[in-house]
Amino acid sequence: MGVPFDYAPDRPEHIDVILNGLDRYNPETTAVFQDYVMQQCENQTYDCYANLALLKLYQFNPHLTRDETITNILVKSLTVFPSPDFSLCLSLLPPHILTPHAASLSAPAAGDASLPEAVQKLNVLNNLLGGADYAGFWAELDSDDLYADLVADVSGFEELMRVRIAVTVSQAMRAVKRSVLEAWLNLFGSGFEHFVGEVCGWVVEGDTVKVPLNKENEAKGTVVRENVKFDQFSRLIKRAYEQPA
Amino acid sequence: MSLRQPYQADGGVRNFKDDDSDVEEEALVNDYREQVRYEDGMDDLDRTISLGGSSQQDISAQLAAAATPLEFQATLETKFASYDNYCSLFHYILNSEGPVDLEAPSYFWAWDVIDEFIYQFNSFCSYRQRVALKADNEEEIQLLRDAPNTWGCYSVLNVLYSLIQRSQISEQLAAMQRGEDPAQFAGEYGNRPLYKMLGYFSIIGLLRVHCLLGDFSLALKTLDDIELNKKAMFARVMAAHFTTYYYVGFSYMMMRRYADAIRMFSHILVYVSRTKNFQKNAQYDSITKRNDQMYALIAICVAFHPTRLDDTIHTALREKYGEQFTRMQRGGPESLPLFEELFRNACPKFISPTPPDFDNPQINVDPVEHHLAIFMDEVKNNMWSPTVKSYLKLYTTMDLKKLAGFLEVEPDKLRNWLLVNKQRSRQVRWGEGGLLDGEVVNSSDLDYALQVDLIHVSEAKVGRRLVDWYLRNLARTY
């Protein structure tokens, strides 16, 4: 079933009101949206459309920008890959954010990473996910302490990512080698068995993991048939009436 | 947009007009109001508005000026003056007591004025960004520093939203969709053609502004009230029709809904190619460039999402971009520069809404480069899909390691490519409802699943299309 892009099941009423009115441009609502982002991070809910509205407010009022909120939004949007949300968020950030020298230019004191640096780091993760290089994703995530800081606010980040990866696996595979899946999920031993068995409902048999058949991974050949509508014949029938036989 | 407040209501709306020029403008308009009251007996056409405090200008001349492009080499002063001109004109139209009694100079005027207004906003922002990046013209930099609010995004959006509200165009369009008489919902302003047309084209203007600012989902959301078909009001003005489909198509492309983007571009390109014989005029000339841009975009979308195109489009595409089209469809690293080139030529001139940082010239990157970088990441993710597909088409089952040998890559890498291709073949596609609605469908004729290292391939065969053939032959026999 499809849902419209701007729909979020858990969106509170007052956010909906702001999004549908002109208050979405009102800098005073920034605080409301920021709280909402925090809330999404805490309860593992997600509302891309509202987060984009906040990024737009930042775009229009750069002095209100809060780096931490931006990175939280980006991290949240990673948890719904392979949807384009991360890219859509990036599009609303300042144009220099992805250029290499911007990262070194505005390095703030106290050893904190600058916003461009953080965003570029997250973009690396996004590209690994986009290329379905899940083992690479976990390795990268583990390679720099900065990542731990960036994802710290998003509760259950690793779990959310594993579920997401499992979903993409279930779409493409009927059975997969245990070692491959372990690397993709970054889970080993009993943790792996628990996740695969309890959360996904898959079966571990020796060194393979069986994924039950679903609509996506059965890959059945189909024949697309023409869908003929009566309307297509309307002219013909009209003509038949008009012309005396 | 259910909560539209009147123009000068409280809350967020006031924030739209927090720039200084508005204060000045307020004074001017009050000044003007007094004069109007004073000369109340005069004919409407003779109404004048005070401009810059000194010159008196005929309002109809001002209306015409608002729809006329600036000279290509216009100076910054001209651009500032033009902005003030728009402000006073829109202020007059929106904030006079009651609707103003004006006859638009022509049917196209309302479109032209919105079009030109946004075009000037667009080129002003691009220009400002360039000046800041180059940092070699102190004089202009100083001028721009001193006027941070000229052509500000808040004022531009304010104008568009106010015109939409004043004309109650959303309510009118909603009534039309329900099959009711829109005039009942139009109110005092919306019943006048001037307001109605300005309001209507402001919706399309918003679509464009949001897209230029990189907010593609909001751009599509803006069109919720407008039904896209040939009967829509915008279809009566060729340039409006064209612009609408370009921006909708582009926004879809950036949301990775390639099938929907192709549908939009095809629709308008077919329309143009069928009507070009009737449109040999200036209006048509101005869209030729856009036309080529859309062919480039369609080529990009087809590379992402191979599909059968309409014959006319396919032929024209081969003529214009034959070589690039074939190479993009082949994928691989060699195709990357082509994607880059076509995207650069065909994308809108993206802007950054806020004044640039004049103190750090080098960080004022052209926003086009920013969007290009984001887009190219997705192209890179996808570039092996054509290769993978071309091999899989040949088999019903295939061993992963064997295929990896053919392709000379690591089996692990190939497994990733297979996952990527599988994910990208599932796309959201519009069925009915708002432009942002849609369902995830399998958009590829090739499907596969892995059983450990064995790839099972299946194909969706298209049955013979008989109805067209049947109808054509029947028509001939009559």
**Residue A49 pLDDT:** 92
Say yes or no for a CB contact (<8 Å) between B448 and A177.
no
Q: What Rg do the C-alpha atoms of chain B give, in angstroms?
A: 26
A29 shares its domain with A145: yes
A45 shares its domain with A150: yes
Backbone angles phi, psi at A223, to 5 degrees: -115, 120
A14 shares its domain with A131: yes
Say yes or no for a CB contact (<8 Å) between B437 and A87.
no
Q: What tens digit of pLDDT does each residue of B48-65 get?
A: 333 333 333 567 677 777
Query: Residue A163: inside a domain, yes or no?
Result: no
A22 shares its domain with A88: yes
Query: Residue A161: inside a domain, yes or no?
Result: no
Task: Give the orientation angle of helix B138-146 with respect to helix B76-95, to 10 degrees.
Answer: 20
Q: What is the extent of the structural domain holding A81? A: 1-94+113-155
Q: Is the pLDDT confidence value at B11 over 70? A: no
A185 shares its domain with A121: no
Q: What tens digit of pLDDT does each residue of B240-293 get?
A: 888 899 999 999 999 999 999 999 999 989 888 887 766 556 566 667 888 889
Reading the block at residue B241, the tokens are: 């029709």
CA distances to A108, A133, B415 from B412, in Å = 40, 9, 5
A131 shares its domain with A183: no
Mean pLDDT within B192-213? 90
Interface contacts A/B by beta carbons within 8 Å: 221
CA distances to A88, B40, B300, B305, B330 from B341, in Å = 21, 59, 11, 19, 16
Say yes or no for a CB contact (<8 Å) between B157 and A25.
yes
**Residue B279 pLDDT:** 59
Query: Residue A9: inside a domain, yes or no?
Result: yes
Alpha helix segments (H runs only) across B179-215: 183-190, 193-212
| Interface residue B1 vs chain A (CB under 8 A) | yes
> What is the three-class DSSP state of A187?
coil
d(CA B335, CA A66): 38
A151 shares its domain with A177: no
Reading the block at residue B275, the tokens are: 């009507």
> What is the three-class DSSP state of A176?
strand
> What is the three-class DSSP state of B73?
coil
Query: Residue A168: inside a domain, yes or no?
Result: no
The complex scores an ipTM of 0.88
A180 shares its domain with A209: yes
Whole-prediction pTM: 0.85
What count of residues does chain B have?
478
A32 shares its domain with A138: yes
Of the candidates A105, A127, A155, which is a domain's last residue? A155
Q: What tens digit of pLDDT does each residue of A124-172 get?
A: 999 999 999 999 999 999 998 899 989 988 998 999 999 999 999 998 8
Alpha helix segments (H runs only) across B44-182: 59-66, 76-95, 109-134, 138-146, 153-167, 169-178
Query: Residue A222: inside a domain, yes or no?
Result: yes
A135 shares its domain with A219: no
Nearest residue of chain B to residue A167 (CA atoms): B423
Residues of B in contact with A65 (CB under 8 A): none
Alpha helix segments (H runs only) across B276-310: 282-304
Query: Residue A27: inside a domain, yes or no?
Result: yes
**Residue B110 pLDDT:** 85
Query: Residue A160: inside a domain, yes or no?
Result: no
Nearest CA distance, A117 vs chain B (angstrom):
14
B337 preceded by cis ω (within 30°)?
Answer: no
Q: What tens digit of pLDDT does each residue of B117-128 get?
A: 999 999 899 989
A127 shares its domain with A78: yes
Q: With contact defined as beta carbons under 8 Å apart, do A221 and B458 qualify?
A: yes
d(CA B86, CA B198): 13
Q: pLDDT of chain A along its 245 residues, tens only? A: 467 888 888 888 889 899 888 889 999 999 999 999 999 999 989 999 999 999 999 999 988 999 999 999 999 999 998 889 999 999 999 988 888 776 565 555 445 568 888 999 999 999 999 999 999 999 999 998 899 989 988 998 999 999 999 999 998 888 899 999 999 999 998 888 899 888 888 888 888 888 888 888 887 777 777 777 888 788 778 877 876 65
Q: What tens digit of pLDDT does each residue of B319-355 get?
A: 999 898 999 988 889 999 999 999 999 999 999 888 8
Q: What tens digit of pLDDT does each residue of B165-179 get?
A: 888 888 888 888 888
Give the H/E segment covering residue A158.
helix A157-172
Q: Which is it for strands B446-451 and A173-177: parallel, antiparallel or unpaired?
A: parallel
Range of lowest pLDDT (A2-11, B19-28, B364-373): B19-28
- Domain count of the fold of chain A: 2
**Residue B277 pLDDT:** 66
Nearest CA distance, B218 vs chain A (angstrom):
8
Question: Chain-wide mean pLDDT for chain B?
Answer: 80
Query: Residue A44: inside a domain, yes or no?
Result: yes
Mean pLDDT within B445-454? 86
Mean pLDDT within B402-417? 90
Q: What is the CATH number of the domain that holds A84?
A: 1.25.40.250
Q: With contact defined as beta carbons under 8 Å apart, do A106 and A80 qualify?
A: no
A207 shares its domain with A118: no
Give the H/E segment covering residue B448.
strand B446-451
Name every residue whose Cβ is closer than 8 Å to that of residue A118 and which is 6 or more positions away in sequence.
A67, A71, A146, A150
